[in-house]
Amino acid sequence: MDITDSTTTTLQNKSLRLWPGILFVILQWLIRFGLPAISPGSIGIGIFGGLIFGLLIIIWWAFFSRAPKFERWFAILLMVVAIVATSQINHKSISTAMMGMMFPFYAIPVMCLAFVSWSFFTRNLSLKTRRLTMVASILIASGFWACLRTNGMDGQSRQYFALRWSKTAEDRILKSSDDKLTTVSVDASEMSKEAEWPGFRGTERDGIVHNVRINTNWTQSPPVEMWRKSVGPACSSFAIHGVLLFTQEQRGDYEMVTCYNLNTGAPVWRHNDKTRFWDSHAGAGPRSTPTLYNGRVYTSGATGIVNVLDERDGKVIWTRNAAEDTKVKLPGWGYTGSPVVIDSVVVVAVAGKLIAYDIITGNQRWEGPDGGESYSSPQLMTIDGVRQVVFMNMQSITGFAPDSGKELWQIKVPGGAPIIQPAQINQSDILINIGDVTTPLREMRCITIKNGSDGWKTEERWKTDQLKPYFNDFIIHKDHVFGFEGPGLVCIDMEKGNRKWRGGRYGGQLLLLADQDILLVLSEKGELALVKAAPEQFKELARFPAIKGKTWNHPVMVGNILVVRNSEEMAAFRLPVNVPV
């Protein structure tokens, strides 16, 4: 290149119109990542904004940047080729996350930042150097994604990235040798009583704890750790009977029902089924929680295996495959419903369909209609004096007769796969959430259900968008509802659904210590918090680090013993007692 060519190149580079690209990429990152960090409910706007500004950056570079023609069109072509090529070699967790769209949702803003940065920092370099660094910048900005995996996402769709080849928590527990089974002394009289925490969200599946009062000054009297232990991945919670603690987990190719000593955390027995479920959002393992009834453990696995086991030793009483029995297609998040036992039947949710088995023989008793997808569990309620199984799916919320599966009443809903449980307010009123992040309508509805001479009637009392729970179950207490909208905790009244307050940034799950009007929060980050369950104002009383890692699992509490877990570890704490239990 002669002096004239060099001068021309320098003048051409200096004349690049860079300010639109710089402005666009700053706005892109503010909207794509900054806005959702400030307002978690705006994740959709953030994603859409990131793509729009990505398109604007392409338009700027192609038509308004004043870059040489070759640089303009070659760069765009190379970016497209690099992203397409990288998508073919990405880790499965990245290529399947967010319905297969996670890679472009994240890669486009990163590519735009790398490209605009390149155009700015190389603007005064030689043409050859600019083009070589342009190729390198584009290939690195796209190709580094092939070195990553995601260990799932949080409730606001933020990903937990890790190096592709790094060991997972499950890998580490599989190599651990310190996990031998132990014997436990079981008090026969204690085990003859009903289980203290018989399954998902407690006795009534409402997350409410009675007959305990704790000291809320955790600065002076913090929770005391009883034990801490690695656990296989799962979204499962716990069931407790006496000194036995039951959960579900995944270890390699085996889906497990496991029993531990509540006082020490030592493993007592394991039941294995050779099956494995995994998705890119929640990871590997079962999604449901064991149910205890009359000395037996009832479980439903993520691929549809229903087991009934002896509480004492895990011996199989009977087993069925509900997926094969119902012919329901496996949803992207697996089968998730926790079984409920009512008299002589155990009712299992297989996505949006219920099936009931005889608890003695395991024979099928009845099967409900398929209502599309659902993450929710069947809920036992007594409505207007009639016991029934209430179940939500994508098409409706329905009440079924437990013994026969007869449909008693039904309320159509406008789509969206329900995740959380319906809640009973009184003998005739229930509270439900409607819609999900894929539907334009998201709200809560209070429904009155009556059984008259001309059959069952339903009537909507009120609806509100002042609380829009999605991942996290809510709690009803003293004419108010407490639940999460995004990571924030919200209180609304039961009269019309008006919001009383919003506060905190927790996510996670709730328990209510009813005797003290206190919410016990297990946050999505594994922290414990105490919040006053009162409508006057949001007031956090205490906070304590419990476990590490993303935590979607429900906590359980028996007396003043609190047990928590996630997909990496579990721990038991003895909470300081205020008044003797």
Q: How many CB atoms lie within 10 A of CB 131?
A: 17
Quote the pLDDT of residue 8: 43
Quote the pLDDT of residue 437: 67
Quote the pLDDT of residue 14: 52
Domains of the chain: residue spans and CATH? 3-163 (no CATH), 169-579 (2.130.10.10)
Q: Residue count of the chain, please give it.
A: 581
Of the listed ranges 292-306, 438-452, 489-503, the one predicted with least confidence: 438-452
pLDDT digits (tens, 9 = 90+) for 348-400: 999 999 999 999 999 999 999 999 999 999 999 999 999 999 999 999 999 99
Element (H, E) at 358: strand 353-358
Average pLDDT, the chain: 92
Quote the pLDDT of residue 578: 79
Q: Where are the beta strands (DSSP E) in 413-568?
A: 423-424, 429-434, 443-452, 455-464, 475-477, 480-485, 488-493, 499-503, 509-513, 518-522, 527-532, 540-545, 556-558, 561-565
Residue 11 has pLDDT above 60, yes or no: no
Q: Backbone phi, then psi, for 128, in 5-degree steps?
A: -65, -45
Quote the pLDDT of residue 3: 44
Quote the pLDDT of residue 497: 94
Q: Backbone phi, then psi, for 313, in 5-degree steps?
A: -135, 0
Question: What's the CA gap between 162 and 33, in Å, rounded?
Answer: 19
Question: What's the CA gap between 122 and 137, in Å, rounded?
Answer: 11
Residue 151 has pLDDT above 80, yes or no: yes
Structure tokens at 21: 């690209």
| Range 501-529 average pLDDT | 96
Instruction: Give the SS3 label for residue 149.
Output: strand
Tally the C-alpha atoms within 13 A of residue 27's C-alpha that lie toward its C-beta: 16
- How many angstroms separate the most distant Cα atoms in the chain? 99
Instruction: Give the SS3 label for residue 364.
Output: strand
pLDDT digits (tens, 9 = 90+) for 240-274: 999 999 999 999 999 999 999 999 999 999 999 99
Residue 406 has pLDDT above 80, yes or no: yes
Quote the pLDDT of residue 4: 43
Is 389:398 a contact under the CB 8 Å cutoff? no
Quote the pLDDT of residue 177: 64
Of the listed ranges 35-44, 130-139, 312-321, 535-544, the one predicted with least confidence: 35-44
Is 394:416 a contact under the CB 8 Å cutoff? yes
Question: What's the CA gap between 338 and 350, in Å, rounded?
Answer: 10
Is 344:359 a contact under the CB 8 Å cutoff? yes
Question: What's the CA gap between 573 and 450, in Å, rounded?
Answer: 43
Quote the pLDDT of residue 576: 95
**Predicted confidence band of residue 178 (pLDDT cuts 50, 70, 90):** low
